[in-house]
């Protein structure tokens, strides 16, 4: 049924598992303060890599969604998923006092924007809660969508789930 040596695939899989286990062991000792401090920088680098991949991506399996470094390739959309969840968690924790007493999104009904007081309140909601949370999601989704619809769907679903839990 199978011709040839299959140990190559087994060893390759084992190397990836070992690398992942070492990374998990390393990352569990990184403090939350470090992640809070550096997550914006890592997210920015992720956005740059997504942009470079969109223009100069390595095409594997007829999809230019891979980023190549030396002889290794990876999909930056996977890193974007992790960083997006991290950025959203930080944004939500920083805006917790705003979110607890007002909605995450302003009302979409034009009648709820009628008075000057409503306009001020809704603009405050938009500026203090909606845009800081929506902008990273929109940026990542725009960069991921053209080359990788499945990861776009996963990213958007993750955001939708987080937003529905908060509301």
Residues in contact with 147: Cβ distance below 8 Å, sequence separation at least 6, in sequence order:
53, 54, 57, 63, 64, 65
Question: Using CA atoms, how far apart are residues 9 and 2, in angstroms rounded to an integer?
Answer: 13
Q: What is the pLDDT of residue 14?
A: 92
Question: Using CA atoms, how far apart are residues 39 and 37, in angstroms rounded to an integer?
Answer: 6
Q: What is the pLDDT of residue 17?
A: 95
Q: Tell me the average confidence (pLDDT) per consecutive run of 10 residues in the chain, 167 residues long.
A: 72 91 91 88 90 77 72 80 85 76 69 77 78 84 78 77 67
Question: Using CA atoms, how far apart are residues 55 and 103, in angstroms rounded to an integer?
Answer: 38
Q: What is the pLDDT of residue 56?
A: 77
Q: What is the pLDDT of residue 18?
A: 95
Token code pair at residue 127: 């500026």
Q: What is the pLDDT of residue 4?
A: 67
């Amino acid at each position: 049924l199978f011709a040839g040596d299959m140990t190559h695939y087994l060893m390759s899989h084992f190397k990836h598992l070992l690398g992942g286990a070492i990374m998990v062991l390393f990352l569990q000792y990184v403090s939350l303060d470090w992640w809070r401090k550096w997550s914006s920088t890592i997210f920015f680098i992720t956005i740059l890599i997504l942009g470079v991949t969109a223009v100069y991506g390595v095409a594997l399996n007829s999809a230019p969604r891979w980023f190549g470094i030396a002889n290794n390739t990876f999909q930056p959309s996977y890193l974007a998923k992790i960083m997006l969840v991290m950025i959203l968690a930080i944004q939500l924790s920083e805006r917790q006092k705003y979110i607890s007493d007002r909605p995450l999104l302003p009302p979409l009904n034009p009648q709820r924007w009628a008075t000057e007081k409503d306009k001020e309140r809704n603009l405050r909601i938009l500026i203090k809660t909606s845009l800081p949370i929506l902008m990273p999601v929109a940026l990542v989704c725009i960069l991921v969508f053209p080359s990788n619809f499945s990861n776009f769907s996963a990213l958007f679903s993750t955001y939708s789930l987080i937003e529905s839990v908060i509301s």
